[in-house]
């Protein structure tokens, strides 16, 4: 499991933790010897967990912070709301009120001028609204008096078995900026899923009967396919048995037309297997739209392959199956990863480990709340790498 070394700094800096969640930035900075002097988050459950772990009660609304009379600080951190920009949200960008919360960060920064700002968001923020959002952010940071360097990062690139593509914004006040790019410290943990997974867990984390039956149905099918068979893109099994006129087909979304066209050779090749299989499981697979979509992301079928050899996640796009090297992205909505070999959900503690929180971290009593909090959290190890690399670059 993840262990972050605590460093005793000669220079102890003060930081504020905005949109703090359960304190991923706090974990990283405190381990480097720095002190939190203010936190803020509107979520009551996050406030409770933050206070329980750090003995600091977050301000409930960033808009209530008076920049003229607030505490002095050296570092500002913020994993500002990602829902307006993410694939999991509605991608409304700044037309969503949460998108404007970035301006609250700039309001405080313009007045207090901290030495550094460390911000985090989803990778999609680079492309949303045809690039208008990222240009807006860059311009606001520049106009506030900071030089910006952007780091795309994911835990799986640093030896943590979770793929979680994120963007870190490192903002250095112009009078401190030395004109040289920061180089990230090579800090690979070389963890495997075995370092995350607990051997014995409560039976309540076993997948429910309906989910198990759906996965068993798909497993029954793929075991009849040839070794080396490729099953991409997403198999839309219901559409293979629907009849569309040319007009109806052309009215479908382009992505769906593309998938159906690419599915056709596989459906035809295994028609003698798929037809009776579908008739047998049609009612089950029709209970939810996602049950009829298999998103196989493990490459060609191997000998004795099984859906349970891999990591599984029930997503809006369907049943996603990924290679068992690293877990899919933890998200705040109900898409808890399934650990195929044990046919169960990840536990809250395992999710915390994937986000690099130590086992000493006190979790909320509700599993549902923990899943949401860890889905929203910044990865502590990635955050530690970015911040420690920056402070080392500036001899702090």
- Known catalytic residues are 82
Residues 41 and 19 sit within 8 Å (Cβ to Cβ): yes
List alpha helices for the chain, DSSP H.
Answer: 24-31, 44-54, 101-112, 132-143, 193-196, 209-222, 246-250, 254-269, 271-285, 348-354, 367-376, 380-393
The DSSP 8-state label assigned to residue 162 in this structure reads: B
Distance CA 335, CA 316 (A): 9
Question: 218 — phi, psi (to 5°)?
Answer: -65, -35
Q: What's the token pair of residue 380?
A: 């502590």
Nearest C-alpha neighbor of 379 from the set 189, 120, 110, 127 = 120
Nearest C-alpha neighbor of 22 from the set 362, 329, 351, 382 = 362
10 Å Cβ neighbour count for 103?
13
Residues 295 and 319 sit within 8 Å (Cβ to Cβ): yes
The DSSP 8-state label assigned to residue 44 in this structure reads: H
Sign of CA dihedral 264, 241, 247, 256: negative
Torsion of CA 241, 245, 248, 253, to 10 degrees: 60
**Would you call 315 helix, strand, or coil by DSSP?**
strand
* 233 cis-preceded (ω within 30 degrees of 0): yes
Residues 302 and 227 sit within 8 Å (Cβ to Cβ): yes
Q: What's the token pair of residue 67?
A: 């920049």
Distance CA 374, CA 195 (A): 18
Distance CA 62, CA 21 (A): 13
10 Å Cβ neighbour count for 374?
28
């Amino acid at each position: 499991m993840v262990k972050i070394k605590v460093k005793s700094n000669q220079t102890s800096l003060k930081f504020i933790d905005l949109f703090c969640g359960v304190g991923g930035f706090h974990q990283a900075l405190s381990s480097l010897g720095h002190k939190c002097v203010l936190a803020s988050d509107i979520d009551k459950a996050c406030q409770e967990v933050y206070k329980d772990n750090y003995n600091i009660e977050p301000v409930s609304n960033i808009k209530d912070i008076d920049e003229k009379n607030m505490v002095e600080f050296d570092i500002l951190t913020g994993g500002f709301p990602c829902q307006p920009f993410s694939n999991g949200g509605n991608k409304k960008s700044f037309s969503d009120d949460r998108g404007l919360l970035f301006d609250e960060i700039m309001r405080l920064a313009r007045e207090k001028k901290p030495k550094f700002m460390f911000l985090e968001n989803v990778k999609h923020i680079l492309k949303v609204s045809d690039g208008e959002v990222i240009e807006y952010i860059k311009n606001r940071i520049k106009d506030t008096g900071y030089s910006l360097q952007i780091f795309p990062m994911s835990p799986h690139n640093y030896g943590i078995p979770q793929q979680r593509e994120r963007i870190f914004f490192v903002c250095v006040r112009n009078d401190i900026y030395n004109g040289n790019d920061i180089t990230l410290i090579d800090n690979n943990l070389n963890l495997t899923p075995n370092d995350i997974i607990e051997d014995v867990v409560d039976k309540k984390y076993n997948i429910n009967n309906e989910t198990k039956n759906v996965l068993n149905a798909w497993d029954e099918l793929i075991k009849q396919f040839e070794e080396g068979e490729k099953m991409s893109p997403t198999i839309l099994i219901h559409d293979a048995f629907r009849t569309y006129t040319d007009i109806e087909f052309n009215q479908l979304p382009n992505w769906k037309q593309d998938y159906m066209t690419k599915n056709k050779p596989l459906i035809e090749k295994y028609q003698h297997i798929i037809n009776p299989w579908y008739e047998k499981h049609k009612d089950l697979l029709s209970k939810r739209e996602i049950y009829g979509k298999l998103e196989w992301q493990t490459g060609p079928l191997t000998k004795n392959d099984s859906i349970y050899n891999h990591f599984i996640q029930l997503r809006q796009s369907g049943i996603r199956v990924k290679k068992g090297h690293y877990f899919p992205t933890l998200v705040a909505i109900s898409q808890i990863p399934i650990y195929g070999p044990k046919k169960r959900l990840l536990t809250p503690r395992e999710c915390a480990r994937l986000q690099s929180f130590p086992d000493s971290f006190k979790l909320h009593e509700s599993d549902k709340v923990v899943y949401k909090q860890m889905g929203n959290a910044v990865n502590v190890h990635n955050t530690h790498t970015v911040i420690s690399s920056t402070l080392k670059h500036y001899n702090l």
